[in-house]
Amino acid sequence: MIGFLRQLNIADLNVKDVKDHLPMDPPEEAKALADYAAAEIKLHAAGAIYFRNSEDADIRAKFDYCKRAGISVIVAGDPTPEMLPRIEAFAREYDIRIAIHNHGPEDKLWPSPLDVLKSLEHSDPRIGCCIDVGHAVRAGTDLVQAIRQVGPRLFNVHMKDLTDFHSKESQVPVGDGIMPVREMFEALIAIKYRGFVDLEYEVHADDPMPGVLSSFAYMRGVLAGMNYASRG
């Protein structure tokens, strides 16, 4: 992972609780954190983290995991609306933001970021959205409109590309599909988005780097063409 990030010239990472990312077990987490620190890699988000246990001890363990890592955004996979007030209390206590992840038409709770947004009208400002563009578009969401509507509650973006907006199996490197990448970047700039656009490349697991490299090259090229990359 660290070698791949160096090859990509990337120093920021959204991690998951898996062996080769950031294990939740404290000793294993500490070892991984030392490796990332030595490589000067900063961890900005963790997830998706799933809140399937409503016990406070389980919720606290996940916040402690992120606090130890200095992570400021938890991408939450499937919190129920009933659990949100309890998670919100921890978000206030730890001052860690929660970005609820949409999972497309198969998701009965949060198919679209707009479904998430409907539940957040009276929530603490630390509760918001992670827009997964591939899942959102399969739910029939206008991505550009969704970015603008979510606005200040947008804390994270999972980027991917599809050749068919009805098929999650149609994923390709970013730029090889029909995702409106430039228009989405324009919308992110318009809302003054200060978070990260994290590539989520989920195909060719045995040899992902060619697709990952071309995805970053395309996105960087789009931003350079908009004269944005030079502005940071």
Q: 218: closest CA among 184, 176, 168? A: 176
Q: How far apart are CA 101 and CA 136, in angstroms?
A: 10
Q: What percent of the chain has pLDDT over 70?
A: 98
Q: How far apart are CA 19 and CA 32, in angstroms?
A: 9
pLDDT tens-digit profile of 144-194?
Answer: 999 999 999 999 999 999 999 999 999 999 999 999 999 999 999 999 999
CATH code of 2-224, in short, is 3.20.20.150
pTM: 0.94
For the chain, which residues make up each domain, given as ranges?
A: 2-224
Whose tokens are 């660290």? That residue is 2
Task: Give strand ranges (E) for the chain.
Answer: 12-15, 42-49, 73-76, 97-101, 127-132, 154-159, 161-162, 171-172, 197-199
Q: How far apart are CA 33 and CA 182, in angstroms?
A: 34
Determine the pLDDT at residue 19.
80
